[in-house]
Structure 1
Amino acid sequence: MPLANNALVLVTDGRKTLFLRNHGDQNQIDLRTEAHDERQDAKDSEMKTDAPGANQQSGGYGRPTYEETDFHQLKEDRWAHSAAQDVNRRALANDFDALAIIAPPKTLGELRKQLHKEAEKRVVVEIAKEMTGHTIADIEKLLVSVTRAEEPAAV
């Protein structure tokens, strides 16, 4: 499906979020940065306070430990929830009619869980790919390949 003029494009992963706006039309994508946010990852020692827990076994040898919590993944999930809340707020304020989401598969899954029905029905493109470290031109090329629009003219 073509990406309409004024469509919102969310590019996110667990550490960085970009909101881009299509200033082109359905035939030619022209993305411009509207907002961005990035967080720094904390070190393991800053997030953990102790070794993983263990429990007593009724028989056998050794003490099995509980699976260790992945604090980095928890932070990434919270980041995705925050991005979804931004999208929900914008959808409820009628800030966009069409939404394209580009995120790694795990982040995309977290986003889907958190999207409001109003935001959900405006999603026209979902791409399960990590693109936050790429240029806007690369993101445009990806969207062009998926939506069959043309690339913006060189300026």
Structure 2
Amino acid sequence: MTRIKHGTWVVVTDSEKALFLKNLTDHDNPNLDVFDEEEQENPSDREQSANRPGRMNDTGVNQRSAMDDTDWHELAKERFAKDLSDKLYALAHKGAFDRLILVASPQVLGALRDDLHKEVADRVIAEIPKTLTNHPIDKIESIIKAELEAA
């Protein structure tokens, strides 16, 4: 069973928001304190797109097809995971944390896992595939404790 020791960092994130928490007590009674928060403005793709999708001629007479436009909203989500992994690397390099628990939706967790530097990945003690960014801190504490005890 993985335990939340004193000083363990917990990063709770989705594709637009990240909460940085630190455990101030022990596993039996975790007390997570929010010490930093990152949030990204990410309006819908329609609001970010400048033009209508392009069109191209097909092989038939007077036939045209629409071309896929770039999904700016989805790109911003992917960029957020990359930026978060870069921030974690910088903090790990400074020795800011020894143990890290990542809590994110499965898609974001996969993107983070792919981008994490070895120095950060070596400090990850648990990954919890859940979206908890909008939960109150006391609920996050109990969910994390239950997930770690079940593992």
TM range (shorter): 0.7 to 0.9
After superposition, the Cα gap between the structure-2 partners of 1:59 and 1:122, relative to the gap in structure 1 and judged at 3 Å, is same
Please identify, of 125-134 and 53-62, the stretch whose mean Cα deviation from structure 2 is larger.
53-62
Q: Alpha-carbon deviation of 1:105?
A: 1.6
Alignment of 1:85-124 (within 5 A): 85-124=86-125
Partner AA of 1:104 in structure 2: S
Identity percentage of aligned residues: 33
Please identify, of 30-39 and 42-51, the stretch whose mean Cα deviation from structure 2 is larger.
42-51
Alignment of 1:1-80 (within 5 A): 1-44=2-45, 46-59=47-60, 62-80=63-81
Please identify, of 57-66 and 89-98, the stretch whose mean Cα deviation from structure 2 is larger.
57-66
Q: Report the 3-state secondary structure (helix = DSSP H, G, I; strand = E; otherwise coil) of the residue aligned with 2:80.
A: helix
Paired residues of 2:23 and 2:30 also in contact (CA < 8 A): yes
Q: TM-score, with normalisation over the residues of structure 2? A: 0.88
Identify unmatched segments of 5+ residues in structure 2: none
Q: Distance in 1 between matches of 2:77 and 2:124?
A: 22
Q: Alpha-carbon deviation of 1:81?
A: 1.3
Partner AA of 1:111 in structure 2: L
Please identify, of 38-47 and 132-141, the stretch whose mean Cα deviation from structure 2 is larger.
38-47
Q: Which residue of 1 aligns with 2:138?
A: 137
Q: Alpha-carbon deviation of 1:44?
A: 4.1
Q: Report the 3-state secondary structure (helix = DSSP H, G, I; strand = E; otherwise coil) of the residue aligned with 2:82.
A: helix
Q: Which runs of 4+ in 1 moved over 3 A?
A: 43-46, 59-62
Q: Alpha-carbon deviation of 1:34?
A: 1.1
Please identify, of 19-28 and 40-49, the stretch whose mean Cα deviation from structure 2 is larger.
40-49
Q: Distance in 1 between matches of 2:7 and 2:43?
A: 36
Identify unmatched segments of 5+ residues in structure 1: 150-155
Q: Alpha-carbon deviation of 1:61?
A: 6.8
Q: How many residues align?
A: 149
Q: Alpha-carbon deviation of 1:68?
A: 3.0
Q: Which residue of 2 aligns with 1:153?
A: none
Q: Alpha-carbon deviation of 1:119?
A: 0.3
Paired residues of 2:8 and 2:99 also in contact (CA < 8 A): yes
Partner AA of 1:77 in structure 2: E
Q: Distance in 1 between matches of 2:61 and 2:128?
A: 48
